[in-house]
Amino acid sequence: MIELNNSARQAFDDDGFVVVEQLIETDHLDRLHQAFSDLFSGKFETGVRPDEVNWQQADGDPSLTRQICNGWKANRDIASIVLDESIGKAIATLAGWSGVRIMIDNVIWKPPATKSLGFHQDSAFLAWFTPADLLTCWIALDETHAEGGTIEFARGSHRWQLREPEGEFHAPEDYRKPMYQAARLEAVDAEIAYVEVPAGGGSFHHGWTWHGSGANNSTHPRRSLVLHAMRSEVEYVPANFAQGIGPIYSRYKRLGDNQLDENYFPILWREDGYRTPQIETYLGPTRQ
């Protein structure tokens, strides 16, 4: 279980993020490292291709950060982490939500010498569901340091004015530029915080917190598994499918209503005790 004390919750409210030294047990790491190798080599354990495959070993640019979205659908070791009930409950605790479901996961691998990921706000891309609140759990699968391209946050930036997304995400020339532009409009000096934790540690951050990561200038890989979570009661906003990531995830909309199908957006935790029952069947006894 992930225990978040009052100081952790206060840090999240004040800063827009909180760093946690341990989110998963270290005995999961070897299996997760293998899952990363499998996914980026095109080996999908379940036979289902992830929703977004932005890098593959056969033809991927070695200078770019490797990224896959919804690896949980292709690999049950990934699913065992991002569908974890205790992580869902921790998210609900920080956000003050009555329930949590997964929106997407990100499988991110930064080998040495790979380039940056641009600063952005996750919620700026989420016009396709309502309420459009988001909270993210970022899990380091390797020990992280500033020179290794770990995730960075602009402290307190979740309280800045909401802005339209801008700038490049993969390998921008100046990965902090959009954030610094937003800080100037706020008339504040941005304070950068690096998440430096052992493997298995990580952070939680608000959907409007500015964040990104620099190049990996170390000699070690930086792998991370990311859960983007939303309220359990969200619904589709059909008129906004053309915006943001809508064209991808609108394919899961049911014909008769605007409810999100739990087969594709499972509920991880709800205060009344409910959790999508198919999760345990999907994971199987060895991964629960």
User: Residue 169 — pLDDT band, cuts 50, 70, 90?
Assistant: confident
What is 6-287's CATH number, 3.40.50.620, 2.60.120.620, 1.10.10.10, 3.30.70.141?
Answer: 2.60.120.620
User: Residue 127 — pLDDT band, cuts 50, 70, 90?
Assistant: confident
d(CA 208, CA 126): 11
d(CA 245, CA 225): 19
Return all residues near 190 (Cβ < 8 A) that are at least 6 apart: 154, 155, 157, 176, 179, 180, 183, 210
Supply the pLDDT for residue 1. 75
Return the structure tokens found at 236.
């589709």
Share of the chain above pLDDT 90, in %: 84
Reported as a single tens digit per residue, the pLDDT across 66-95 is: 999 999 999 999 999 999 999 999 999 999
The average pLDDT across 237-256 equals: 75
Question: Is 244's pLDDT higher than 70?
Answer: no
Cα 87 to Cα 10, 23, 92, 130, 148, distances in angstroms? 18, 8, 9, 22, 25
The average pLDDT across 47-73 equals: 96
d(CA 29, CA 150): 17
Specify the pairing of strand 211-213 against strand 17-20: unpaired
Supply the pLDDT for residue 287. 64
Supply the pLDDT for residue 126. 81
User: Residue 288 — pLDDT band, cuts 50, 70, 90?
Assistant: low
Supply the pLDDT for residue 25. 95
Which residue did the predictor score with more confidence, 75 or 170? 75
User: Residue 245 — pLDDT band, cuts 50, 70, 90?
Assistant: low
The average pLDDT across 174-188 equals: 96
Count of CA atoms in the C-beta half-sphere (13 A) of 90: 28
Question: Is 190's pLDDT higher than 90?
Answer: yes
Supply the pLDDT for residue 164. 78
CB atoms within 10 A of CB 27: 8
Return the structure tokens found at 169.
């995400």
Count of CA atoms in the C-beta half-sphere (13 A) of 125: 17
